[in-house]
Amino acid sequence: MIAKLKKAYNLYSLRNINLWIIFYFLVYLVLVIKLITIKEIDNNILFGLYSLGVSLYLLSRFVIAYFYEVDNKKMRVDYLPTISFGVPAKNEEDNIRETILKMAKSDYPKNKFDIIAVNDGSTDNTLQEMLVAKEIAARHGAVVKVIDWKENRGKREGMAECVKMSKKDLVIFVDSDSFVNQSTARNLVKYFSDPQVVAVAGQAYVTNENKNYLTKMQSVRYYIAFKAYKAAEAMFNSVTCCSGCCSAYRRQAVMEVLADWGQQRFLGIACTYGDDRSLTNFLLRRGYKTLFAEEAICHTMVPDNFRQFMRQQLRWKKSWVRESLIASTFIWRRNIIMSLSFYLGFILPLAAPIIVLRALVWYPYMTGLVPCYYLLGLMLMSLIYGLYYYIHTRDRKWFYGVLFAVFYTLVLIWQLPWAIINIRDSRWGTR
């Protein structure tokens, strides 16, 4: 009896049950508020439905991701294909050595992997750092190939070069400012025991997460974007973006799409960013499976000043719009829930500026009332966002997650129309 009680208590404390109760209570509150809102505050049923749709979309991410818990027994853990790490780098003298050395220290048979570093026309000491890293790695028995381009050709070309140069089964792309763990390679590789799987995204954490409020917010955002959003997509074998900071690709499959991907043009302009999302998209179109590996961890740097952050976000938004448009032409062939949530996830942010305008400007202006329900709903959703992070990490930064959700809804939303207008402008802005 006592043992049973103890077990129950352990389960209780282990599973953060009290926190989950709060979490579900908030979910419940949101639903209640949305139901009221639909009926009363917004006489327009479309706006009410939108509001309900946003909540349901967000919540569905959490719920579906909850099911994405892979069972090691179901895959061949002894599956050890040969792999290449691919690192295209430009002007990355600060980090590139460590990036390469971290990969070299991977807990993987030394004869089964190599590292391909592409110096993409750097104007600083990146090449020298690469060569130093190569020497150190060689002492540990890891092979590093350095490719030196005198002039800049772009990240996509760099990635393509890695694929072409590699003779291995898989290519793991790692950003030049990202650092992998020892176990990352192993954890990524095991997913490829299913021959249909051609790309697996790792979970990215933020290295400079405690630098300032911006990096703190991004840290929470990264966590949820991977842990919830990618996991939810992976549930249906359709991760739409195996991100550049750390993802493994099956070389054979990439070779099939390499030419198309390398020469991708959109609205007559060569695509120079969103390479990772684009590559994933090409693979998805062919019906391959793309997955997410929660346990394959890498650490990456995020912009720590507002200007850089906004530029990065704009770039991401542009590529998101472009690739989502492309994906929307074929994603319906995949799982029904996946396609429903994909289209929902595409339409909701596009309509968001109108909704926010209506709720926060037009409605108060016309009625003279404070949009209490809207704000309350927003706050609660943000709280749920932050709480989700807290339950999983017990990290005090959760409040920045709340902040981020509000910030996203009120500020970042407005980047989207701007991104659409400037979608043909292919400059990187910075970096």
Partner 1 sequence: MVSFISTKTVIKKIALLGLVAIILAGGLYYYEKNRLFLENFRWYYLRTYRDVVIYRAREFRFRFLATVNHLFGPEIYAKPEAEKKETILTLSVPVLVYHGLSPTANRFDITPEGFRDHLFELKKAGYQTITLSQMKGFLTGNLDLPQKSFLLTFDDGRKDSYYPTDPILKDLGFNAVMFISTQASLNDDQDKDSQYYLNREELKKMVESGRWEIGSHAIQEDGGFVTINSYGEKRNFLSNRQWLIQENRLEDEEAYVARVVRELAGSKKQIEDALDIKVTAFSYPFSDFGQQTVNFPPSRQIINEAVSNIYDLAFYQTWPHDRGFSQNHRDEQTSMLKRMEPYPAWNGEFLTSLLENGQSKNIYFEDDFSLNQGWRRSWGEMRLSSGQLEIRSSEQTTGSFALLDGTYDWTDYRLTLSIDWLKGSHFSLIGRFRDESNYYSCTYSDNSVRVEKQIDGQKVLLKEAKNENVLSKNNLTVGASFWQDEIGCLVGGESVVSVVDNDNAYLSGGVAVKGWDKTLGNSLIKIKHFTSEPAIQNENYKPIRLAEML
**Of 38, 47, 56, 68, which one interacts with partner 1 (CB under 8 A)?**
68
**Gap between the Cα atoms of 341 and 318, Å rounded:** 20
C-alpha to C-alpha distances, 60 to 213, 338, 378, nearest whole angstrom: 28, 11, 17
Size of the site for partner 1 (CB under 8 A): 25
**Of 8, 17, 32, 357, which one interacts with partner 1 (CB under 8 A)?**
32
Q: Does 27 help bind partner 1 (rule: CB under 8 A)?
A: yes
Is 202 in contact with 170 (CB distance < 8 Å)?
A: no
**Gap between the Cα atoms of 186 and 91, Å rounded:** 29
Angle CA(413)–CA(414)–CA(415) in degrees, nearest 5?
A: 90
Q: Does 146 help bind partner 1 (rule: CB under 8 A)?
A: no
Nearest to 179 by CA among 278, 104, 280, 82: 104
Is 295 in contact with 201 (CB distance < 8 Å)?
A: no
Complex with partner 1: residue 179 or 229, whichever CB lies closer? 229
Tokens 């991004």, located at residue: 218
Is 139 in contact with 188 (CB distance < 8 Å)?
A: no
Complex with partner 1: residue 66 or 414, whichever CB lies closer? 66
**Of 7, 10, 11, 66, which one interacts with partner 1 (CB under 8 A)?**
66
**Of 69, 139, 268, 329, which one interacts with partner 1 (CB under 8 A)?**
69
Complex with partner 1: residue 130 or 188, whichever CB lies closer? 188
Complex with partner 1: residue 38 or 115, whichever CB lies closer? 38
**Of 3, 4, 73, 78, which one interacts with partner 1 (CB under 8 A)?**
73
Site for partner 1 in 196-215 (CB under 8 A): none
Of 59-67, 84-92, 204-212, 274-282, the window that binds partner 1 (rule: CB under 8 A) is 59-67
**Gap between the Cα atoms of 418 and 349, Å rounded:** 13
Nearest to 200 by CA among 70, 88, 319, 328: 70
Of 86-94, 158-166, 229-237, 401-409, the window that binds partner 1 (rule: CB under 8 A) is 229-237
Q: Does 79 help bind partner 1 (rule: CB under 8 A)?
A: no
Complex with partner 1: residue 115 or 291, whichever CB lies closer? 291
Site for partner 1 in 231-270 (CB under 8 A): 234-237
Complex with partner 1: residue 35 or 372, whichever CB lies closer? 35
| DSSP calls for 322-379 | HHHHHHTTTGGGS-HHHHHHHHHHHHHHHHHHHHHHIIIIIHHHHH----HHHHHHHH
Complex with partner 1: residue 40 or 124, whichever CB lies closer? 40
Site for partner 1 in 321-350 (CB under 8 A): 335
**Of 194, 256, 295, 395, which one interacts with partner 1 (CB under 8 A)?**
194
Spatial strand order in the sheet of 246-250: 143-149, 113-120, 83-89, 170-174, 246-250, 197-206, 289-300, 178-180
**Of 63, 138, 357, 372, which one interacts with partner 1 (CB under 8 A)?**
63
**Gap between the Cα atoms of 171 and 246, Å rounded:** 10
Strands 170-174 and 289-300: unpaired
Q: How far is the CB of 32 from partner 1 (least distance, A)?
A: 6
Binding mask 34-53 for partner 1 (x = CB under 8 A): -x------------------
List residues near partner 1 by CB under 8 A. 24, 27-28, 31-32, 35, 63, 66-71, 73-75, 191, 194, 234-237, 289, 291, 335
